[in-house]
Amino acid sequence: MDFKNLGLSAELLRAIEEQGYSTPTPVQQQAIPLVLEGHDVLAGAQTGTGKTAGFMLPLMQRLAAAPAPGNKRSIRALVLTPTRELAAQVGESAEQYGKYLPLRSAVVFGGVKIGRQIETLRRGVDILVATPGRLLDHVGQRTVDLSQLEIFVLDEADRMLDMGFIHDIRKVLALIPPIEQRQSLLFSATFPKEIKQLASSLLNSPRQFQVASDKPAAERIEQQIYSMPKGLKRKVLSRLISAGDWHQVLVFTRTKHGANRLAKQLDQDGFNTAAIHGNKSQAARTRALAGFKDGNVQVLVATDIAARGIDIDQLPYVVNYELPNVPEDYVHRIGRTARAGRSGLAVSLVSPDEDKLLRDIERVLKNKVPRCEIDGMRELIAEHETMLRERPPQPESTGARPQGRKPGQRSGQGQPARADGRKRNSSRRRRPRSGEQRVAS
């Protein structure tokens, strides 16, 4: 199968060739002809499968073939993404794929000043990639007009719903032309009931397909489990990074605080480390990601949502410092490596309290992940046990005992206590005004 057989124009084929793509991925083979024919599409595909080109290439071809409407403010195609990072990457792809077409694309997301985005939108944009909150801010300021929209793409729809964007999506749907007057494409890695419901209200007689998402990952990604007491994880991770000479490793923690703490410790261990999560400013996140991509940052510690959509060619190592609460997130996480046919190594450090999470993951994978041990593990455990006997244990998740909790008593899963011991501010749970605070966890 060749890109030429898919019916793409010479301008797009030239851009694809410059990207170095020789063969279309399965999602591209399926999506491109369907979108070119004007069908609505419901696609089961996750990041790493080449889905962006799967919708962006045919979408561009359709826009380029039809005359642009008169009004400069009218967006012709809208791609909604859950995270800023994914929006930036999809926007980058649009720039690259549309290089030889007279189409203008732009990206808008929160966490950065709105002024420059307004300027860009004023000049006229055909394809807009956006996170929901900032898009609605622009709608409120009348800097975008969605009433003439021709193509609507909902990317990573499952993650959108996980992040509570359903109301914002519904608001956007009310602003765009009705279902019969637009082409709609929905991409999702998983299909829980809510996604099926959303799809039925958003798509018009869609063509459906599913690319085996976790199967190629399971085949290409070498996965390893290292079992150990919680308190040894940092030491073991440092040893693995040193011994394996891992030059670029993405490490997942469950919490923002955990990410910060681990990044600090790894930095003390001599690795150039940065952390990304939702409490970091957009500028700090962009800086960390750029440093990681260009090799200045050796270890990037991230929470799930902040890492969602990170697209780094040839990222060789992914570490689950803590297992995710949701087994599907394990698949998303390890999918950061071994992208577009390459191989990768995904290592999980598992403490006894995570045994159930591991069983759930292996049930989803339909496979047992091989168990490994680092050299000297027994000695490390013996040392650790001696240390514990001589010193009362400290709660691992915070480094400080929160008020009202005795040593060793666990906090709720995924609900780490604050390091300062203050009570969690319940107002943080309220729905943010623009939705942009929910863009990253």
Cα–Cα dist 204/297, whole Å: 46
Check residue 333 for interaction with ligand AMP (CB under 6 A): no
The answer to whether the beta carbons of residues 225 and 355 sit under 8 Å apart is no
DSSP secondary structure string for all residues of 62-113: HHHHSPPPS-TTB-SEEEE-SSHHHHHHHHHHHHHHTTTSS--EEEE-SSS-
Residues in the chain, how many?
Answer: 441
For residue 51, state whether it binds ligand AMP (rule: CB under 6 A). Answer: yes
Is residue 1 a contact point for ligand AMP (CB under 6 A)?
no
- Interface residue with ligand AMP, options 26, 48, 82, 111 (CB under 6 A): 48
Determine which residue in the list 134, 261, 339, 438 makes contact with ligand AMP, applying CB under 6 A.
339
Which range of residues in 44-52, 153-161, 226-234, 259-267 is near ligand AMP by CB under 6 A? 44-52
Q: Which two tokens stand for residue 348?
A: 């999980």
| Alpha carbon separation from 262 to 98, 257, 433 (Å, rounded) | 40, 9, 31
Spatial CA neighbour of 157 closest among 211, 215, 86? 86
Residue 20 Cβ, how far from ligand AMP at the closest point, in Å? 7
For residue 198, state whether it binds ligand AMP (rule: CB under 6 A). no
Does residue 125 touch ligand AMP according to CB under 6 A?
Answer: no
Cα-based angle 380, 381, 384 (whole degrees, multiple of 5): 85
**Least distance to ligand AMP from the beta carbon of 105, Å?**
15
Q: Is 29 in the site for ligand AMP (CB under 6 A)?
A: no
**Rounded to whole angstroms, how far apart are CA atoms 65 and 37?**
12
User: How near is the Cβ of 342 to ligand AMP at its closest, in Å?
Assistant: 9
Using the contact rule CB under 6 A, the part of the chain among 19-27, 122-130, 148-156, 254-262 near ligand AMP is 19-27
Q: Interface residues for ligand AMP in 250-289 (CB under 6 A)? A: none
213 scored as a contact of ligand AMP (CB under 6 A): no
Q: 77-80 and 127-130 as β-strands: parallel, antiparallel, unpaired?
A: parallel
Contacts with 408 (C-beta within 8 Å, 6 or more apart), sequence order? 393, 395
Strands 151-154 and 299-302 come out as unpaired
Contacts (CB under 6 A) with ligand AMP, residues 52-81: 52-53
Residue 73 identity = R
The rounded Cα 218 to chain-centroid distance in angstroms is 18
Q: Which is nearer to ligand AMP, 294 or 313 (CB)?
A: 313
> Is residue 336 a contact residue for ligand AMP (CB under 6 A)?
no
Out of 6, 25, 128, 151, the residue judged to bind ligand AMP by CB under 6 A: 25
Q: Does 209 bind ligand AMP (CB under 6 A)?
A: no
47 contributes a contact to ligand AMP by CB under 6 A: yes
- Least separation in angstroms between residue 4's CB and ligand AMP is 13
214 binds ligand AMP (CB under 6 A): no
Count the Cβ atoms, other than its own, within 10 Å of residue 207.
16
Is 308 a residue that touches ligand AMP (CB under 6 A)?
no
Residue closer to ligand AMP, measured from CB, 51 or 138: 51
Identify which of residues 283 and 340 has a Cβ nearer to ligand AMP in the complex. Answer: 340
Question: Contact between 2 and ligand AMP (CB under 6 A)?
Answer: no
Within a 10 A sphere around the Cβ of 5, how many other Cβ atoms? 11
Asked if residues 219 and 230 have their Cβ atoms less than 8 Å apart, the reply is no
Q: Which of 9, 13, 21, 175 binds ligand AMP (CB under 6 A)?
A: 21
Letter for the amino acid at 165?
F
- Binding ligand AMP (rule: CB under 6 A), the pick from 29, 30, 49, 188 is 49
d(CA 215, CA 351): 26
Q: Which residues bind ligand AMP (CB under 6 A)?
A: 21, 23-25, 28, 47-53, 311, 313, 339-340
